[in-house]
Chains A and B, each alone.
Chain A
Amino acid sequence: LAKTTQPISMDSYEGQEVNITCSHNNIATNDYITWYQQFPSQGPRFIIQGYKTKVTNEVASLFIPADRKSSTLSLPRVSLSDTAVYYCLVLPYNNDMRFGAGTRLTVKP
C-alpha cells in the first residue's frame, strides 16, 4: 500500500477555507485516494474519494494533480464543529484500510 504523509496538525479560524495536503509518491495505478474524518469518541467517517482531477460533494472538495503523487482536501468556510482528525488513505478497491497518523485540525473562534 502507498505510504502517505500529511501534516500532524493545523490550526484555522471559523469561516476560513482549510486545505490539507497529503503526499503519496508511490501511489499505484489502481489506487484511490480517500479521506476520513474522526471526531473525539467516534469512529471515522468517510468524507470523499477520488482517482484524479477534482471531486466535490456537499462536505468537501478533493484536488488531485495529474501525477497523483499528492492530493488536497479542501474544507470551505470551516466552523468549530469541523475540529477533528482527518485521515488520507491511498488504496485499491476492496482492500484492507490502514490508517496513517492523520492531521489534527483545530478550528478556533
Chain B
Amino acid sequence: SAVISQKPSRDICQRGTSLTIQCQVDSQVTMMFWYRQQPGQSLTLIATANQGSEATYESGFVIDKFPISRPNLTFSTLTVSNMSPEDSSIYLCSVSRGGTEAFFGQGTRLTVV
C-alpha cells in the first residue's frame, strides 16, 4: 500500500490567483496521477506525472493552466493557475506501483470566488 498526504485539504481562493497542491507519498512510486472531481461527478484525469519525464496531459488540460512538478519519487505538485470559479472542484493525487491498483489522497477541495 501507499499512504498519501495531500495539502492543503481545502482552500478558498480569489479569482486570478494560483494555488499549488502538494502530494507526498510515504514510499517511492513511479507513477503519479492528478485528477479533478466535480461534486457528484466521476474523476477526470488531468495528467500523468512520472518521475524523470515531463507530465503527460489529457485532452482539455494544458501545462500553462496546470503546471506539474515531479522532483523525486515521493513528491509532486499541481498548480492551478489564474483561477476562475469554473476551477472550483476537488483535486486528487494518486499513485501506482504498476498493475491496476492505485492509491489516492484525500483530495483538495478548492473553491474559487
Chain A residues at the B interface, C-beta cutoff of 8 Å: 32, 34, 41-46, 49, 85, 87, 89, 91, 93-102
With contacts A43-B94, A99-B43, A100-B42 known, is A49 near B100, CB below 8 A?
yes
Interface-located stretch among B13-21, B78-86, B102-110: B102-110
- List, in ascending order, chain B residues with CB within 8 A of A87's CB: 42
- Of A46, A85, A93, A101, the residue contacting B103 (CB under 8 A) is A46
Q: Kindly state whether residue B99 has any CB partner on chain A within 8 Å.
A: yes
Q: Which label, helix, strand, loop or mixed, suits the secondary structure of the B interface?
A: strand
Contact between B107 and A41, CB atoms less than 8 A apart: yes
Give, as a whole number of angstroms, the nearest-CB distance from A82 to chain B.
18
Contact between A49 and B99, CB atoms less than 8 A apart: yes
How far, in angstroms, from A91 to B33 measured CA to CA in the complex?
Answer: 15
Contact between B42 and A97, CB atoms less than 8 A apart: no
Q: Kindly state whether residue B45 has any CB partner on chain A within 8 Å.
A: yes
Q: Mark B87-103, 1 if CB is under 8 A from A, else 0.
A: 00000101010111111
Which of A42, A45, A96, A97 has the most chain B CB within a 10 Å cutoff?
A97
How far, in angstroms, from A39 to B104 measured CA to CA in the complex?
Answer: 12
- List, in ascending order, chain A residues with CB within 8 A of B102's CB: 44, 46, 97
With contacts A49-B99, A87-B42, A102-B42 known, is A97 near B94, CB below 8 A?
yes
- List, in ascending order, chain B residues with CB within 8 A of A96's CB: 33, 45, 48
Chain B residues at the A interface, C-beta cutoff of 8 Å: 4, 31, 33, 35, 42-45, 48, 92, 94, 96, 98-107
- List, in ascending order, chain B residues with CB within 8 A of A43's CB: 4, 92, 94, 104-107
Contact between B96 and A97, CB atoms less than 8 A apart: yes
Give, as a whole number of angstroms, the nearest-CB distance from B21 to chain A.
13
How far, in angstroms, from A44 to B44 measured CA to CA in the complex?
Answer: 13
How far, in angstroms, from A98 to B58 measured CA to CA in the complex?
Answer: 10
- List, in ascending order, chain A residues with CB within 8 A of B92's CB: 43
| Nearest B residue to A46, CB-CB | B101
- List, in ascending order, chain A residues with CB within 8 A of B101's CB: 34, 46, 49
